[in-house]
Every structure is written in structure tokens, then in C-alpha cells.
Amino acid sequence: MNILVAVSRVPDTTTKILVGSDGKFIDTNNVKFILNPYDEYALEEAIRLKEKNGGKVIAITVGPATAQDILRNALAVGADEAVHIKSEQNFDSFFVASQIAEYASKMKPDIIFMGKQSIDFDSLQVPSILSDILDLPLATIVTKLNYEGNMVKAEREIEGGKEVLSLQMPCIISAQKGLNEPRYPKLPDIMKAKKKPIEEIDAPNYENNIEIIGMELPSRSRLNKIVGDTDEDIKEIVRMLHEDAKIF
Amino acid sequence: MSFQMPDYYNIQDLMSDEEKMIQNSVRSFVEEEVLPIIEKHYEGGTFPFDLIKKMADLGLFGVTIPQKYGGAEASHTIYGLAMQELERGDSGIRSFASVQNSLVMFPIYEYGSEKLKQKWLPKLATGDAIGCFGLTEPDFGSNPSGMVTHAKKIEGGYLLNGAKMWITNGTIADIAVVWAKLDGVVNGFIVEKDMKGFTAPEMKHKHSLRASITSELIFQDVEIPEENKLNIKGLKGPLSCLTKARYGIAWGAIGAASAVYDSALNYAKSRIQFAKPIASFQLIQEKLVWMLNEITKGQLINYHLGRLMDNGKARPQQVSLAKRNNVEIALQSAKLAREIHGANGIINEYNVMRHLANLESVITYEGTHIIHTLILGEDITGISAFM
């Protein structure tokens, strides 16, 4: 079974994010980057599937030269090969999806995994655009998978419940937390990953469909409301958090 | 509040992708497998046995040993980073890994016959065998050359008599690397746990390194086969092992110091007294800055010493300086962090008292602070103060 896993490089969740001097992108100085956490579930699922059925796992990313570290990470966890679509420009979701689609149309994987979203821009668009370009069935935000022959049964989260889908391979799965427990890369495997191949492909120049006009940090102004501790007050706090602050 | 390793001088940027990846991997391991259970074991005075297999699976035993013997074949810098992350969890867990790597697998790899290597290294790497290292004796600590444990040549091997003390992992070990005098010269022997006349009772009632097993090793006419003797003569055998282990401790100490610094910084920012965070008081800021300052220096020492080790250019005295400095500042940091935490600093909701108590052992074992001072004193003056 040939499996393609799309991964992305994102700022570490504990990194303090600042806006760059152009006001259009984050300041990447002193930012620690990591493999997108949702992609870890995708990668783990791909490797488990390969360990069970044999075949090959190829990890792919679209990004600048510095993004190679997450491919090494994917190779250390168990991917067999990696593909780096190199681009130094800032790009939108369509570009990423179209580059992955181009590679996938040549590789013809049986299944494509990716995280449900990248935690940098959180647009959740790549799986859907990829599904459209490749004309392949898609299950997003998947928490459980079962495989029977060339059919995949996917359990996915929906508002207040779950939905079970049946898809025919080849298909695309976007992974949600809970799909599995990703393994740690082991020291000997990290050392061996150095010797695994990374294919480098230069991405074409591209004009974004979406232009970022500005970026700013959330304002930290206080509501300056002081409430008491009666049951009614607590209900009011919950309402404010839910409706005004939209925290949950 | 998730842990942030201080990195004031962006030393991370100097690390290779492999080095960063291994650091991240061991850090996640410590967060998910060590920190949730360590206080319970520390309080109970028990070693978390479940971690042995898990550490082995991660590749933490035999870090610098070739892959053909089950090791990771990684650099000394990587070994150092792994020890730093482990000790961020607990000095006792790091001690376990130090012993297995530097004091057991290293001498077998360096001084053992091919047969000994084949027999023990793969098992030690997978955690199916545990090792310990016997040098210190009840009456000979800083002065190991005075040891009374001795071996006598007999037909087909040696007869071993004597006792060792303060031995990490002794009671649970499958093999002990034991240093004993043969015709007045220090030699190394592999003693297996089932050999007749060998016992290893546990030393209880410690107030430090409580999540680590410390033992005595007692040898009464233990017959050691010829093949279990290591191919090295003199004190340089055990000292070469100690150099490797001390190097790992220099990194580990920065892990412990980072843990208490991070805890103190967060505590100081959230603890309100006199209607403001205590972090706003000058005397608290001074403590935090001292800690950060010393940790940054220690990180730079480790980074450069790691590169020297990787190039085979490090001298044992340079390792002494790193161990001496880093453990001392880690201990002082733990003390300051304990003060910043006020009364909360003594309970196990915070890590500081555990690290503080652990570091009191770390500053004494593997060459006391004073002995390292005298090693350096001798190196710069040419005059030995202890011989």
C-alpha cells in the first residue's frame, strides 16, 4: 500500500508570536518551529497502516528550505521517503493543495493522510481543496478508522456528535486528535533518518488567490466587569465567556 | 503553564536537526512518562521500573555505542542533550541512564572482549539487562586507589573479595562492573548477579535520590571466569568511565536547574503579595536573573564541551570544570527557587525541594565538588593537593 502524508511546519504552541515589521506576517526570528501536531496523528496512522499491510510511506511538505527539519522528523518516526516542494514565498492554501495534488497525481497513493488543520493559519482548507483537485473522496476531522479491503470506514466529529462515513480508496483522510497515540521518534531511528532520501522539487512561482492585508495581535483590553459569587452571577460569567468572549 | 527551557543565547540555533529532534523526543518522553509519576515514587522511595523498558525503546541506553551492538551510534552532544532532558525530570532517572550508558556499556565496549560485548551490550541496550558500577567503598570514596576489594588469580579465573558502597542500581542489576586490585593493580571484572558469594542489599532511608536504587555490593569468595576480566589496568580504567558519566552529569545538572528556574519564574509571576506579583520585587528579580545568568553560562560550557568530546579533544579536567560548575549552580538555583516558592517550596506540588535534595547527592557523587576543584588546581598549578 502506498501512502502519502502531507505535513506542515508551524510555530511551536509555546512560542510567543509577534507580528513582523511589514505588518503582514509573523516575525519568524526566535520562533521555534515544529511538525504540526495534527499531522503527527496522520503520520502515526500512515505508519501503522504500513506496518500492518506493508508498502511505503512518503511524507510531503510545501515550504521554505528551513522546512526540511520536519521531513527529517517524519523520516525518524518511520516514513520511508520524503518530498520537499520548495518555495520561499508566502503562499495560500490553494497553492499548497495544488502542489500536493501534482505530486499525488504522479505517485498515485492508495490513501493520503494529513492533519485536520495546521495550527498556524487554521484555515482547514487544504484537505477539501485537494479532494476537489484530485476528485477523491474525503473524510475530515477523523477520530477512528477501520479498513476492509479497499473500503475505509471513518468516524468523524460533528457538532455535538459523530458521523460514520464509508469511503473507497484511493481517498483522503484528515486526522483529528484522538485518532491514535503518536510515538516518540527513537534515538537510533533519528540517526538512521539522516540516510533516508529527501526529494527536492522547486515550486513554480505563484500568484496567491488570497492576499494578506494586515496582521495584528489580539487586543488585551479588559471588559472591567466585576460580578459577585451568587449562582446568578456565575451563570452571567458563563454567558459572557460563551457569547461575548466566545471562548467556548 | 508548559515548561520553557531557558535559551537566552539561542543555543538551539547551533544544534543540528538530529540534535533538536532528539532533545524534543526526550523532552516529550519526560513530560508524558516521568513527570506524572515521579513524585509518587520519590515519596515512596521506589524506582519506577516501568520506565526501564520505555527508556530502552526510546534508545536512551547505549547512545554513543555502535548500532551493531544495539546502540544509537549518536554523538556525545546528543548523549548530553538526552541527560539534560532526563534530569529535568529527576536526577534519579538520569542517574539510571548515566550508569547504564557511561559506567556499564562504555567499559564493556571499550575494554571488553568481543565475546563480552556480544553477550551483554545488546541486552543492556534493550533494558533486558541492567548494570551497575562498583568503585566506591565504605572507607574509600575520594581516594579510590586505596580500595581494599581485591581479586586473586585462581585456575580459570579469579577469586573476588571485598565490598562496595553507594552503588546506583546495585540491587536490581544483572551485572556489576567491579573494580578490584589484582596484585596491587586496579582491574575491572564483570560480576554476574547469580554468581555464588555475591549479594547486593539495598541502602534505604535516603533523603535524596529517593526514586533511585542505591546499594551495597558484597563479594565473598566470588569466582569470576577469566573471560569476565576487562582489558585495562590501573585507575585510568574506572576514571575513563567517570569522565563520560561526569560529562553527562554536567548536562543533566542544567536540566535540573532549568526545571527549578522555570518553576520559580512562573511562581513569581503568579504569586501575589502586597497586591502585586512577587516577580515585581527587586530581590526576587535578582534571584531569577542570577539563575538565568548561571544557566546560560552552563549551557554554553556544555555546548562547547560536547563539540570537544565529539572531536575527541576534551580533556578530563575540562569535564571536571563543567561538572563542578554546573552542579554547583544547579544546587544554588534549586535553593533560590525554593526560597522564591516560600512555604509552597517544600511540598511536592512543586519540583524544587525534590531537585534540591537530589542535587545534594549529585554534587557529592562522581567526584565531589572539592575533588573537582583540586583536579583543576593541580591542572593549572602543576601541584597536586591530594597526592
- Averaged pLDDT, groups of 10, chain B, 387 residues long: 89 92 95 97 97 97 96 96 98 98 98 98 98 97 96 97 98 98 98 98 97 98 98 97 98 98 98 97 98 98 98 98 98 98 97 98 97 97 91
Give yes or no for A73 touching B (CB within 8 A).
yes
Query: Chain A: residue nearest B20 by CA?
Result: A69
Order the strands of the A138-148 sheet from edge to edge. Answer: A161-168, A151-158, A138-148, A171-175, A111-115, A2-6, A56-63, A81-86, A198-202
- DSSP letters, A175-196, are E-TTS--PPPPPHHHHHHHTTS
Domain boundaries, chain B: 11-126, 131-232, 237-381
- pLDDT for the residue numbered A238: 86
**Class of the domain covering B237-381:** mainly alpha
- pLDDT for the residue numbered B1: 62
Q: Which of B210, B98, B197, B208 shows the shortest CA–CA distance to B149?
A: B197
| Crossing angle of helices B76-89 and B17-29, rounded to 10° | 20
Q: What is the value of pTM for the model shown? A: 0.89
Could you give the angle at the alpha carbon of A229 between the alpha carbons of A227 and A234, nearest 5°?
75
Q: How many CB pairs under 8 A join A and B?
A: 57
- Report the gap between the CA of A137 and the closest CA in chain B (Å): 34
Give yes or no for A191 touching B (CB within 8 A).
yes
Most A CBs within 10 A among B11, B17, B76, B105, hence the mutation to make, goes to B17
Is the CB of B18 less than 8 angstroms away from the CB of A191?
yes
Hey, what domains does chain A have and what are their CATH numbers? Answer: 2-202 (3.40.50.620), 218-248 (no CATH)
Give yes or no for A66 touching B (CB within 8 A).
no
Active-site hit among B110, B202, B366, B378: B366
Question: Measured between CB atoms, which of B21, B29, B67 is closest to A73?
Answer: B21
Residue B171, classed as helix, strand or coil, is: helix
Give yes or no for B8 touching A (CB within 8 A).
no
Give yes or no for B22 touching A (CB within 8 A).
yes
C-alpha grid cell for residue B32? 508524558
B46-66 CB burial, b ≥16 within 10 A, e <16:
ebbeebbebbbbbbbbbbbbe
B368-382 CB burial, b ≥16 within 10 A, e <16:
eeebbbbbeeeeeee
Give yes or no for B73 touching A (CB within 8 A).
yes
CB burial class (10 A; 0-12, 13-18, 19+) of residue A146? exposed
Residues of A in contact with B24 (CB under 8 A): 34
What beta strand segments (E) does B146-260 contain?
A: 150-154, 157-168, 175-182, 185-192, 198-199, 214-225, 229-233
Residue A122, classed as helix, strand or coil, is: coil
Q: How far apart are CA A45 and CA B152, in angstroms?
A: 59
Q: Are B228 and B189 in contact (CB under 8 A)?
A: yes
Q: How far apart are CA A199 and CA A104, in angstroms?
A: 14
Q: How far apart are CA B345 and CA B278, in angstroms?
A: 14
- Indicate the length of chain A as a whole number: 248
Query: Chain A: residue nearest B27 by CA?
Result: A184
Is the CB of A190 less than 8 angstroms away from the CB of B24?
no
Alpha helices in A78-179 (DSSP H): 93-107, 126-134
Q: How far apart are CA A117 and CA A110, in angstroms?
A: 21
Percent of chain B with pLDDT over 70: 100
Cis geometry, peptide bond prior to residue B316 (ω within 30 degrees of 0): no
pLDDT 10s digits, B73-123: 999 999 999 999 999 999 999 999 999 999 999 999 999 999 999 999 999
Q: Are B181 and B140 in contact (CB under 8 A)?
A: no
Give yes or no for B12 touching A (CB within 8 A).
yes
Most B CBs within 10 A among A12, A13, A189, A190, hence the mutation to make, goes to A190
Q: How far apart are CA B175 and CA B134, in angstroms?
A: 10
Low-confidence ranges of chain A (pLDDT < 70): 223
Most B CBs within 10 A among A73, A184, A195, hence the mutation to make, goes to A184
pLDDT 10s digits, B121-161: 999 999 999 999 999 999 999 999 999 999 999 999 999 99
Give yes or no for A132 touching B (CB within 8 A).
no
Is the CB of B29 less than 8 angstroms away from the CB of A184?
yes
For A27, phi then psi, to 5°, come to: -80, 110
Among positive and negative, which fits the CA dihedral B2, B8, B10, B15? negative
Q: What's the CATH fold of domain B11-126? A: Butyryl-Coa Dehydrogenase, subunit A; domain 1 (1.10.540)
- DSSP letters, B249-318, are HHHHHHHHHHHHHHHHHHHHHH-EETTEEGGGSHHHHHHHHHHHHHHHHHHHHHHHHHHHHHTT---HHH
- pLDDT for the residue numbered A211: 86
Give yes or no for B10 touching A (CB within 8 A).
yes
Q: What is the ipTM of this complex?
A: 0.86
- Fill in the amino acid letter for B150: H
Query: Chain B: residue nearest A66 by CA?
Result: B17
Question: Measured between CB atoms, which of A30, A69, A187 is closest to B22?
Answer: A187
B366 catalytic? Reply is: yes
Among positive and negative, which fits the CA dihedral A219, A224, A228, A232? negative
Q: Are A43 and A152 in contact (CB under 8 A)?
A: no
- Fill in the amino acid letter for A63: G
Most A CBs within 10 A among B18, B77, B126, hence the mutation to make, goes to B18
Question: Measured between CB atoms, which of B4, B18, B57 is closest to A190?
Answer: B18
- B131-232 under CATH 2.60.40.1080, yes or no: no
Residue A223, classed as helix, strand or coil, is: coil
